Amino acid sequence: MIQNMFCVERSDGQETWVKEQCFKTEFKAFINARIQSLSTYGLYRVTYKGLGGPSEVLRLSNGKAVLTDEDHLIG
């Protein structure tokens, strides 16, 4: 059985990511990424690993969400 996981990854340069830790819930992954981002001033992201393959959920810098090129805001 493949289990869905939310993983926290740290930016290690130009689009290079290092996996730090994985969690069963998105909330726990978000809290961990936010704490790491606030304490190190680094860029972190939360990814989702499910049946359809990995996908990015959120990027954080200094504890705040960062928009990516794929984000399309309406309004």
Residues near 63 by Cβ (< 8 Å), separated by ≥ 6?
34, 37, 38
Q: Note the pLDDT of residue 35.
A: 93
Q: Please tell me whether residue 37 adopts helix, strand or coil conformation.
A: helix
Is the model more confident about 30 or about 51? Answer: 30
Give 1's pLDDT tier (boundaries 50, 70, 90). Answer: very low
Q: Decide which of 33 and 50 is more confident.
A: 33
Which residue type, as a one-letter code, is found at position 23? F
Q: What is the pLDDT of residue 29?
A: 93
Reply yes or no on whether the pLDDT at 18 is more than 70: yes
Mean pLDDT score of the chain: 82
